[in-house]
Structure 1
Amino acid sequence: MRIESVRATPGASGFYVDDQAAIKAGATEDGFAYAGDPVTEGFDAVRQAGEALIVEVELADGSAVRGDCAAVQYSGAGGRDPLFRAEAYRPVVEGPVADALEGRDPRAFANNAAVVESLPSRASGGGDSLHTALRYGVSQALLFAAARARRATPTGVLADALDTAPATEPVPVFGQSGDARRRNAEKMLLKGVPVLPHGLFNSEAKLGSDGERLVEYLEWLGSRAADLGPEGYEPRFHVDVYGTVGELFGPPYDRAEVVDYFAKLAAAADPYPLQVEGPMDAGDRTAQIRRMAELRDGLADAGVPVDIVADEWCNTLDDVRAFVDEGAADVVQVKTPDLGGVQRSARAVTACEGTDTRAYLGGTCNETAVSARACVHVALATDAAQLLAKPGMGFDEGYMVVTNEMRRTLARRERADPQVAADGSGGDRR
């Protein structure tokens, strides 16, 4: 078996890309769009259509598999690679990437992924440098190619590459609401989603001038969870504030005023546990780690039961390791398109093993069903703490994609080796 060809076709992603800096600077909503001019390099508008680059790998037996290159909704923010333009990177996939992979054995996933990682990155300034979105999509195709050639699940391929014991139970799914934070949250509650609702609190108008709107929202969410959730339902609340709490209070974040506000959030969410993502954006990784650790220590000292989640400036495998090593978060988001190859996302999750930091395998609404399916296998292979429902912001569709892929894979593994489900052993990792 060998890789015969690698081709690329521009396509559509599951959502849009937004200029986060322009929104934080006051760009106003204009229906579904935003009024005003973009401020981040590469954007033609504050909100514009997302793009994907479909990578197809053809094997010697005539079969073909695909992976989808996609970048995060807030491209160019928080130290991430710039806006992804699919057509501009098509020649890179069909040129240097294809040259490096054609003729190779598709079963050798780890080696093939390493070959892609060795190609020039944007950071190295190479003429044909690879955007993280390219590494992401190509690695998905290589993962599915290895699974096809080995007649195994992609979960098993990754577990073999990382020497991990795959999950034997579904990884908790995290639903994201978009701006329909009440209607979509009610959908999640009806379906008993384990972690919810994200909430998209990315401006002062949504947070409230004193943070009161987030408090009110959590009170409402707790009430609706009791009304709509299935019997015995014990969800975890997780809201993303995009640094707006930091803009409201400013450092230092361990002072009484800040800690008291988080205590109000905890009380509003009670009796459900609460995670707050991206409490501040300090402008660079070093400062972000220092400020996150400061807040985490302040909350711990005061006995405030709110976990904080790293997102901004936690983009690469090295970033994840740095946040974990410094104890700067209770949870780190492994933002899959920003890590590049899916094997790097898997390593980021395993970097949390043996620490008091949990790994949330995230990503973005601006992905595709193909990339979401690939991420399910990363989550299962590494037994991540939670997995984002994606793509899109309608919730139901993304939840369906990741939930069904996860259940199908677990069922296939159990059929292959029933003892795996019975005792949680690693089995043959198929």
Structure 2
Amino acid sequence: MITIQKVIASPGVGSFFFDDQAAIKAGAQRDGAAYTGKAITPGFSAVREPSESVSVMLVLSDGYIAKGDCASVQYTGVGGREPRFHAGQLAAQIEQRLAPHLSGLDVRSFRESAMFAEQIIDEIFVAKRAAAYGVSQALLDAAAHVAGHHLMAQVIKDEWQIEKPLAAVPIYGQSGDERYTNVDKMILKRVPVMPHALINTLDLVGADGAALEVYINWLRARIAQLRTSDDYQPVIHIDVYGLIGAAANGSIEATANIIERLESAAGPHELRIEHPLDAGSRDAQIDALGNLRRTLKKRGSKVAIIADEWANTAEDVHLFAEAGAVDMVQIKTPDLGSLHNSIDAILDCHRYGVGPVLGGTCAETDLSARATTNIGVATGVTQMLAKPGMGFDEGFNIVFNEMSRVLRVAQAL
């Protein structure tokens, strides 16, 4: 039996920034890569701060070191999320307070060990989800090592008794602020779902949605111009951070009007709108998105509505899916904490016929991105975010190559 002999943790950096979303929505202005103005959200000392991570290393009794990275999302501390963590403090807590509980733990069953670790973390940590996220990645790595194949996706498939084979899933590209240059890169690399576009200020939506309509018209034309074959028809996925609803002054009918115009602008491309409005709480969000979705369907719209904010736990995701409030739900992996929660949430979405979007954040790491890629391959998600970072190329490289490696090894063994 292989067990944990020692737990080590080291402070690290994430691949982007932690941003105070409340301050940005309140009018903080960009100044190069920074923001002017004062922080609003508790835990922030500035509107933009470097994202942080903590590497968790489990030294096993046979000498293998299993690894995972604690991380949080770019807009931490809002939308029902826990406050941002500080890497030095979290690393010390893991070594001093969690390590004694994990020493001697049998790591053969990922699901059992992850649930055990999560229970301990819930009792002693403030940054519960960030800590559980990294620890569970290391436990999944350990279970794959003990199994002898080192395929984290196969561990998931076996432990959750998933009948479908491991398979490639569409990758979703994220442009960040480079809404034009990175779109060109995505088209040239034939990314199947794009570009996110980071529509995080009202001026990017425009009065009555006019600015966003112009952007989507450009996007459609650019795809037609740069693609090398007509069979490349990417899905257009735009994250608007609740701002279409804000531009519509909270009116469901006016929000639907804007979305219908965006659908027309997208032309032949399927359109997906993430977080079209923000109702201020989980239950209100479910009601509002359900109302919006029904309104659009009655009008004959085929736009897919995606939940993001307020779907922060497996229970939250279940309630969105059960209510039929949306077409898809982003499974924002750091928000759900331990990886077994993300797996459960994805499979729950499948049961209700809701498309799971395996997301995450630009602010996490290569290690966490590779671990969650294995989840996507094992569970057959609708799409999977290219992460981390905002440069697109790096995240696409990490996720695509990990998916390719996993599938080739599974085929060869």
Between the two proteins, what is the percent identity of the paired residues?
44
Equivalence for 2:220: 222
Give the aligned partner of residue 205 of structure 2: 207
Q: What's the counterpart of residue 5 of structure 2?
A: 4
Q: Does residue 270 of structure 2 align to residue 269 of structure 1?
A: no
Letter in 2 for 1:192: R
Relative to structure 1, the CA distance from residue 60 to residue 40 in structure 2 (aligned partners, 3 Å threshold; closer, same or farther) is same
Q: What letter corresponds to residue 248 of structure 1 in structure 2?
A: A
Q: Any conservation in 2 of the 1:191–1:229 contact (CA below 8 Å)?
A: no
Equivalences for residues 335-414 of structure 1 within 5 A: 335-414=332-411
State yes or no: 1:321 paired with 2:322. Answer: no
CA distance, structure 1, for counterparts of residue 227 and residue 331 of structure 2:
28
Structure 1, unpaired ranges of 5+: 417-430
Indicate if the aligned counterparts of 1:71 and 1:83 stay in contact, CA closer than 8 A: yes
Aligned position for 1:282? 279
Aligned to 2:89: 88
Deviation of 1:182 after TM superposition, in Å, equals 0.7
Q: Cα distance, 1:367 vs. partner?
A: 0.4
Shift of 1:354: 3.2
Question: Secondary structure at 1:233's aligned position in 2?
Answer: coil
User: 3-state DSSP class of the match of 1:119?
Assistant: helix
Question: TM-score, normalised on structure 2?
Answer: 0.97
CA distance in 2, matches of 1:119, 1:278: 33
**One-letter amino acid matched to 1:249:** A
Question: Structure 1 residue 189 and structure 2 residue 187: aligned?
Answer: yes
Distance in 2 (alpha carbons) for counterparts of 1:354 and 1:149: 31
**Change over 3 Å in CA distance of 1:133–1:292 after alignment to 2:** same
| Native 8 Å contact 2:194 2:234 kept in 1 | yes
What's the TM-score, normalizing by structure 1? Answer: 0.93
Q: Is the 2:121–2:132 Cα contact (8 Å) retained in structure 1?
A: no
Aligned mates of 2:292, 2:87 — CA distance in 1:
39
**Cα distance between partner residues in 2 of 1:2 and 1:148:** 12
Contact 1:166–1:380, Cα closer than 8 Å, also in 2: no
| Alignment size in residue pairs | 410
**What is the rounded CA distance, in whole Å, between the counterparts of 2:177 and 2:136 in structure 1?**
32
Deviation at 1:77, TM superposition (A): 1.1
Q: Secondary structure at the match of 1:226?
A: helix
SS in 2 for 1:351: helix
Counterpart Cα distance in 2 of 1:2 and 1:162: 22
Aligned residue in 2 for 1:237: 236
Q: Which runs of 5+ in 2 are unaligned?
A: none
CA drift at 1:127: 4.8
SS in 2 for 1:353: helix
Equivalence map 1:78-157=2 (5 Å):
78-121=79-122, 126-152=123-149, 153-157=151-155
1:259 Cα shift? 2.3
Give the distance between the partners of 1:156 and 1:64, measured in 2 at CA. Answer: 19
Distance 1:230 1:367 in 2: 33
Matched residue SS, 1:338: helix
User: What SS class does the counterpart of residue 83 from structure 2 fall into?
Assistant: coil
Separation in structure 2 between the aligned mates of residue 261 and residue 2 of structure 1, nearest angstrom: 56
The whole-number CA distance in structure 2 between the counterparts of 1:128 and 1:350 is 28
Deviations 1:13-68 (A, max 9, x none): 11100000000111000111000001000101100100000101111121212100
Counterpart of 2:51? 50
Judge which range, 86-95 or 332-341, deviates more: 86-95
Residues in 1 aligned to 2:88 and 2:21: alpha-carbon distance in whole angstroms: 23
Contact 1:100–1:115, Cα closer than 8 Å, also in 2: no
Offset at residue 168 of structure 1 (A): 4.0
Aligned to 1:30: 31
For the 8 Å contact 1:174–1:388, the answer to whether it is kept is: yes
Q: Distance in 2 between matches of 1:375 and 1:18?
A: 23
CA distance in 2, matches of 1:44, 1:333: 29
Q: Distance in 2 between matches of 1:358 and 1:128?
A: 32
Deviates more, 1:4-13 or 1:96-105: 96-105
Q: Which whole-Å CA distance do the structure 1 matches of 2:11 and 2:156 have between them?
A: 27
* Partner amino acid, structure 1, of 2:78: A
Question: What secondary structure sits across from 2:120 in the alignment?
Answer: coil
Asked whether the 8 Å contact 2:314–2:341 carries over to 1, the reply is yes
User: 2:389 aligns to what SS in structure 1?
Assistant: coil
| 2:93 maps to amino acid | V
Q: Is the 8 A contact 2:243 2:276 kept in 1?
A: yes
Measured in 1, the distance between the counterparts of 2:132 and 2:341 equals 10
Conserved 8 A contact 1:259-1:302: no
Instruction: Please report how far the alpha carbon of residue 130 of structure 1 lies from its aligned counterpart in structure 2 after TM superposition.
Output: 4.6
> Alpha carbons of 1:50 and 1:379: their partners in 2 closer, same or farther (altered >3 Å)?
same
Deviation at 1:295, TM superposition (A): 0.3
CA contact (8 A) 1:66 1:141 kept: yes
**Cα distance, 1:269–1:14 mapped onto 2, change above 3 Å:** same
What's the offset of the Cα at 1:161? 1.9
Q: How far apart in 2 are the matches of 1:162 and 1:252?
A: 42
